[in-house]
């Protein structure tokens, strides 16, 4: 009886998790399995699997110049967004780490991008970068069509995305700075360390766990960027801003090639998973050393 009671007590915990598993199954596991399934088929315009083609969709991707261009554009975009958003968030968090009059106003303004929808920000950014009435050209005296020029379009979308992501990074870094004891800085000041030395010798090492977590989250978010591209450039001019997520959207809902779009989704998942695993491996080695 005791053994049966222990088994029931141990298994009853899974009953409490059952609603969570059901939600994951409906909204996560099933769509993921369906995506893999569709990637092995050619579909009709309704997205229904009609002809089994095996790995043909993947072979076509690996021999497509458009896919490699999309991947190159995406990697450049991710690099700009991750570096820019983390740098903005870190600088803002350091500036607000000290108490001074009006600190709450500054903290709110630095965290504000987190509360702004990407579509709304993109609409405002489109007006700011307008070649005739945009404030950027007015202030700089330039005459550049920022969004329609292949040399600047990707950078413009990346800068907007970096600013949008900087708000949540500011909160992460602010929380990390709050966990660093003030006495450490006081002892460093007594030893003669200046502000720059304290930042690189004390602040950054103290933020290392937060930095790693933020890096992983920002890379995943950057790979999934869509709304800004859809509103600002729609993948253009040419293919200069055709990120892989927008390429998936265009393949599925413009070209009605749901099989190819599903294959790109699987490839994107594998890339993000591989990058995440590599970063976790590097982080563990750093801890061991």
pLDDT in tens, the chain (289 residues): 565 556 656 667 777 778 888 888 888 889 889 999 999 999 988 888 889 998 999 999 989 899 999 999 999 999 999 999 999 999 999 888 877 777 778 788 888 888 888 888 899 999 999 888 889 999 888 888 899 889 999 999 999 999 999 999 999 999 888 888 888 888 888 888 888 888 888 888 888 889 999 999 999 999 999 989 999 999 888 889 999 999 999 999 888 899 999 999 999 999 999 998 998 888 777 655 4
Q: Look at the pTM and tell me if it is higher than 0.85.
A: yes
CA atoms within 13 A on the CB side of 184: 14
The candidate with the shortest Cα–Cα distance to 269, out of 24, 39, 15, 6, is 39
Please give the Cα distance from 160 to 169 (Å, whole number): 15
Q: Under a CB-based contact definition with an 8 Å cutoff, are residues 136 and 128 in contact? A: yes
Per DSSP, the three-state class of 242 is coil
Which stretches within 96-129 are classed as H helix?
Answer: 103-111, 118-128
Please give the Cα distance from 196 to 227 (Å, whole number): 38
Burial class (CB in 10 A: 0-12, 13-18, 19+), 237: middle
Tell me which CATH code domain 64-288 carries: 1.10.3720.10
- Distance between start and end Cα atoms, the chain: 50
Per DSSP, the three-state class of 161 is helix
What distances in angstroms separate CA 262 from CA 63, 219, 221, 259, 266, one per listed residue? 16, 21, 19, 5, 6
């Amino acid at each position: 009886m005791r053994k049966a009671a222990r088994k029931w007590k141990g298994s009853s915990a899974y009953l409490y998790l059952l609603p969570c598993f059901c939600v994951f199954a409906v909204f996560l596991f099933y769509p993921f399995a369906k995506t893999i399934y569709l990637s092995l088929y050619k579909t009709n315009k309704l997205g229904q699997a009609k002809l089994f083609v095996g790995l043909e969709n993947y072979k076509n991707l690996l021999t497509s110049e458009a896919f490699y261009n999309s991947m190159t554009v995406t990697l450049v975009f991710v690099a700009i967004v991750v570096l820019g958003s983390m740098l903005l968030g870190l600088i803002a968090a350091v500036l607000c780490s000290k108490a001074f009059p009006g600190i709450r106003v500054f903290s709110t303004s630095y965290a504000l991008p987190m509360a702004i929808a990407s579509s709304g920000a993109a609409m405002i950014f489109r007006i700011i970068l307008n070649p005739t009435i945009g404030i950027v050209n007015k202030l700089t005296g330039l005459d550049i069509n920022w969004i329609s020029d292949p040399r600047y379009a990707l950078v413009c979308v990346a800068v907007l995305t970096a600013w949008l992501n900087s708000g949540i990074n500011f909160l992460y870094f602010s929380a990390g700075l709050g966990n660093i004891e003030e006495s450490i800085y006081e002892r460093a000041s007594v030893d003669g360390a200046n502000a720059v030395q304290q930042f690189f010798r004390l602040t950054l090492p103290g933020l290392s766990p937060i930095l790693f977590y933020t890096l992983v989250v920002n890379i995943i978010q950057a790979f999934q960027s869509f709304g800004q591209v859809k509103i600002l450039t729609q993948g253009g001019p040419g293919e200069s801003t055709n990120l892989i997520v927008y390429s998936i959207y265009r393949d599925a809902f413009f070209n009605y090639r749901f099989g190819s779009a599903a294959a790109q989704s699987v490839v994107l998942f594998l890339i993000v998973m591989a990058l995440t695993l590599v970063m976790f491996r590097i982080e563990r080695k750093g801890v061991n050393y």
